[in-house]
Amino acid sequence: MTNVATDRRLVDDLVASVQSVGLSVTASSAWPDRADDPPPPALPGFVLSSFSPLVAEVAERCLGAAAGLPPLPLARGDRTAFVLVSPLGDVAAAVHVAQTVDRGGRVGPLLFFQSVPNSVAGYVAARWGIAGPVVCLASPGAGPDVAGLLIDDGEADEVLVIIADQSYMDAAGDRAAAVLVRRDASKGANP
Amino acid sequence: MVEAAVVSGVAAVSAFGRGTRPLLSATLAATPVFRRVERFDVSRRRVSVAATLPGQPDLLEELVGVVDQACGEAGLDERARETCPLLLAVHGDPTLARADVDDRPAHSAQSLADRVVARTGLSDKLGLDGRLASPPTRVYTSACVAASTAVADAATLVALGRADRVVVAAGYLVESDQFALFDAGRALATDGSVRPFSAGRTGLLLGDGVAAVVISSAAAAARRDAPVLARVAGWSRTGDAYHVCQPRPDGAGLARAIGTALRRAGVRADEVGYVNAHGSGTPFSDAAEAAALHLALGSHADRVPVSSTKSVHGQALEASGLLEFIVTVLAMREGCLPVNAGYLEPDPECRLDIIAGEPREASPRYALSLNAAFGGANTALLVGAA
């Protein structure tokens, strides 16, 4: 069973972390964000694993809260980056592939593109018109720092930061959080 | 103030062996080594070849080796390494998917990076500049732009004065699972050759690649009397906002990355003397990249020499961008541009000056190293001669 108090802590920690590096939060979201939160809906073309639907769902909630319906206006989308943090990546799909290979089977062709976190990032970016940098990281706490770096480097004005923590045991322990951030003008760039 | 970022140490392992010289020689001589994979069973695969080292090399050991070697070349002693962070590009810990369920967290990519840091004496301290939310060791998993994004981030950290030097390392050793996935996705070349931009190309082939570079501020390199092999003159990362796994056919996203990299450096399109292309060898992707070069470079795209060295060392996935960045740096120093192996004849969809057959003698002041990945992620790195 999902522990919602613990799961909300992921987004609360993410908000605190981005604020600690001088970024301000335009919108945030979590999955699950309540005890009876239904599972993220399936995504066309993504199979066998909760990872990509989890990412897409928190992205939808966060961007929806910030901007309404997709896509973002062109000028805003062009200046928005996407940083996706996943400590173990799509571990359910990776385990399925390994088990299939070890028993001498053939893996399904759809799993080909699903094997990298970029693919669901591309799904979100295409849907919302996010045309800034797409960066995937495995370092659990690095999202806020890399988001700040992209803004300070002039590559984006806003960054969608998602941490997707797919359970390494079963989907019941999945959790994810998203924030849309920009540089807090009153605090300026990091030194 | 913007600090100049320079390359002061490089190291690589490829199917040609350990060291950058065998890699450069093979890309200049156009001698690919795609051969039947012996490392794991390929009997049930459509395609059975890749560019691999003999035996069963270990990713951690190879990463430690290249980091040590690049730091040695850059003259980084124990004390200098203690303040030098690691940006690592990998698919993940290759043992994760077969680890016991309870042990999986110990097989994270971060844990692999932390072990490289512990073994090589790089910095594991909080905060490059005291205001970071996380430890400085970062792992990039953005598929085929993972390593080039890490180079761009390293150059940014140096340019903004947040680090004197950064080690970027990357590694992929051909293994059974990605091989099976690429085979199932019908992405692998069916004729045993990678033929980027050529008529008749049938796809990519995987290859081993483990590499490391030291990116320093010019001032920090000068203080240590470290070699300056090249400058990271410009860089950019962009997205296509187009598709899960296909590039924009008009190349607009990659073209924006090229344009931004040039503007950042104050370099005109016609000053670019070589392009080390992403050039995966897949029909759709090469055509989109050719379109991007025309969009970004205008008429100069008809004249600038282009090659994809994946035709020789193969596609090293998360590590490929670093292998190609190093080949670009070394080729500029050598005064000789690498060959696009496997080229048969022009494809009207790829109107470019492809370096086919023989390497070209040239000492360009600037060269581009381009990469593109699933999710529409693009990077452009502009290398300046030292």
Domains and CATH numbers, chain A: 4-35+45-183 (3.40.47.10)
CA B358 to chain A, closest CA, distance in angstroms equals 35
d(CA A70, CA B313): 41
Q: Can you tell me the distance from the alpha carbon of B23 to that of B41, in angstroms, rounded to the nearest whole number?
A: 26
Closest by alpha carbon to B307, among B349, B369, B380? B369
The label of the residue with tokens 């205001």 reads B131
Predicted structure pTM score = 0.97
Q: How confident is the model over A44-101, as pLDDT tens digits?
A: 999 999 999 999 999 999 999 999 999 999 999 999 999 999 999 999 999 999 999 9
* Closest chain A residue to the Cα of B103, Cα to Cα: A168
* Mean pLDDT score, A121-146: 97
What amino acid is encoded at B347 in this protein? D
Amino acid code (one letter) for B57: P
Cβ–Cβ contact A3 with B under 8 A: no
Strand partners, B257: none
φ, ψ of residue A82 to 5 degrees: the values are: -130, 120
CATH of domain B233-385: 3.40.47.10
Pick among A51, A106, A128, A134 to test the B interface (most B CBs inside 10 A): A134
Report whether A70 contacts A127 (CB < 8 A). yes
**Shortest alpha-carbon distance between residue B157 and chain A (Å):** 8
All CATH 3.40.47.10 domain ranges of chain B, comma separated, are 5-190+205-223, 233-385
Q: Which residues are registered as beta bridge partners of A85?
A: A137, A163
Q: What is the pLDDT of residue A8?
A: 82
Q: Which of B120, B97, B215, B241 is nearest to B159 (CA)?
A: B215
The tally of CA atoms less than 13 A away on the side-chain side of residue A22 is 16
DSSP B295: H
CA gap A61, B288 in Å, rounded: 32
| Chain A nearest CA to B40, separation (Å) | 10
Measured between beta carbons, which residues in chain B are less than 8 angstroms from residue A189? 160
Contacts of A188 (CB under 8 A, 6+ apart): A22
Query: Do the bridges between strand B49-50 and strand B35-36 make them parallel or antiparallel, or are there none, so unpaired?
Result: antiparallel
Whether residues B138 and A146 touch (CB distance < 8 A) is answered with: yes
d(CA B180, CA A102): 11
**A191 DSSP β-pair partners:** none
Q: Is B259 helix (H, G, I), strand (E, B) or coil?
A: helix
E strands in chain A: 23-31, 80-85, 134-137, 158-165, 175-183
Question: Is the domain defined by B5-190+205-223 classed in CATH 1.10.150.20?
Answer: no
- Token pair of B61 as six digits: 């050991």
- List the structure tokens of B55: 């035996």
Q: Is B135 on the interface with A (CB under 8 A)?
A: yes
Q: Measured between alpha carbons, how far is B68 from B54 in angstroms, rounded to an integer? A: 22
- On average, the pLDDT of chain B sits at 96
Mutate one of B47, B240, B244 to test the A interface: name it (highest A CB count within 10 A): B244
Helix (H, G, I), strand (E, B) or coil at A108: coil
Name the minimum distance, in Å, from the CA of B146 to any CA of chain A: 8
| Chain B contact for A17 (CB, 8 A cutoff) | yes
Is the four-CA dihedral A150, A161, A163, B318 of positive or negative sign? Answer: negative
Separation of alpha carbons B30 and A6, rounded Å? 56
**Residue B227 in tokens:** 């070699």
- The tens-digit pLDDT sequence of chain B (386 residues) is 578 999 999 999 999 999 999 999 999 999 999 999 999 999 999 999 999 999 999 999 999 999 999 999 999 999 999 999 999 999 999 999 999 999 999 999 999 999 999 999 998 875 555 567 778 899 999 999 999 999 999 999 999 999 999 999 999 999 999 999 999 999 999 999 999 999 999 999 999 999 999 999 999 999 989 999 999 999 999 999 999 999 999 999 999 999 999 999 999 999 999 999 999 999 999 999 999 999 999 999 999 999 999 999 999 999 999 999 999 999 999 999 999 999 999 999 999 999 999 999 999 999 999 999 999 999 999 999 99
**Cα–Cα distance measured from residue B52 to residue A60, given in angstroms and rounded to the nearest whole number:** 42
Tell me how far CA of residue A100 lies from CA of A93, A108, A123, B181, in angstroms: 11, 10, 26, 11
> In chain A, which residues have their Cβ closer than 8 Å to the Cβ of B105?
87-88, 168
- pLDDT for position B125: 76
Amino acid B357: pLDDT:
94
**B118: CB partners within 8 A, 6+ apart:** B124
How many of the other CB atoms lie within 10 Å of CB of A150? 25
Kindly state the helix (H) or strand (E) to which residue B373 belongs, with its residue range: strand B366-373
Q: How far apart are CA B354 and CA B195, in angstroms?
A: 11
Mean pLDDT score, A19-31: 96
Q: Which two tokens stand for residue B298?
A: 């205008």
Q: Which residues of B touch A138 (CB under 8 A)?
A: 92, 108-110, 139-141
Phi then psi dihedrals of residue B96, to 5 deg: -55, -50
Angle (nearest 5°) at CA A39 between A36 and A43:
155
Residues B338 and B28: beta-carbon distance below 8 Å: yes
- Give the amino acid at B278: H
pLDDT at residue B246 in the model = 94
Distance from chain centroid for Cα B330: 13
Torsion B136-B137-B139-B145 (CA) sign = positive
Measured at the CA of A127, the angle between CA A123 and CA A128, to 5 degrees, comes to 120
CB crowding A73-86: b at 16 or more within 10 Å, else e? eeebbbbbbbbbbb
Q: Which residues of B touch A75 (CB under 8 A)?
A: none
- Does B132 touch chain A if contact means CB atoms closer than 8 Å? yes
Nearest CA in chain A to B42: A104
Look at residue B130 in the predicted model and tell me its pLDDT: 54
Which residue shows structure tokens 């806003």? A158
pLDDT of A190 > 90? The answer is no
In chain A, which residues have their Cβ closer than 8 Å to the Cβ of B319? none
Helices A51-67, A118-128: crossing angle, 10 deg rounding:
30
- Would you say residue A188 has pLDDT above 60? no
What does the pLDDT read at residue A1?
Answer: 43
Q: Helix B146-159 vs helix B320-334: angle between axes, to the nearest 10 degrees?
A: 70
Residues with Cβ within 8 Å of A115's Cβ and at least 6 positions away in sequence, in order, are: A90, A93, A94, A97, B177, B178, B181
Q: Give B-chain residues touching A106 at CB under 8 angstroms.
A: 44, 180, 184
Question: Whose CA is closest to B325, among B257, B382, B244?
Answer: B382
The C-alpha of B176 sits at a distance from chain A's nearest C-alpha, in angstroms, of: 7
Torsion angle, alpha carbons of B305, B309, B311, B314, to 10: -160
Do A31 and A175 contact (CB within 8 A), yes or no? yes
A147 phi, psi to nearest 5 deg: -60, -45
Categorize the per-residue pLDDT at A172 as very low, low, confident or very high, splitting at 50, 70 and 90: confident
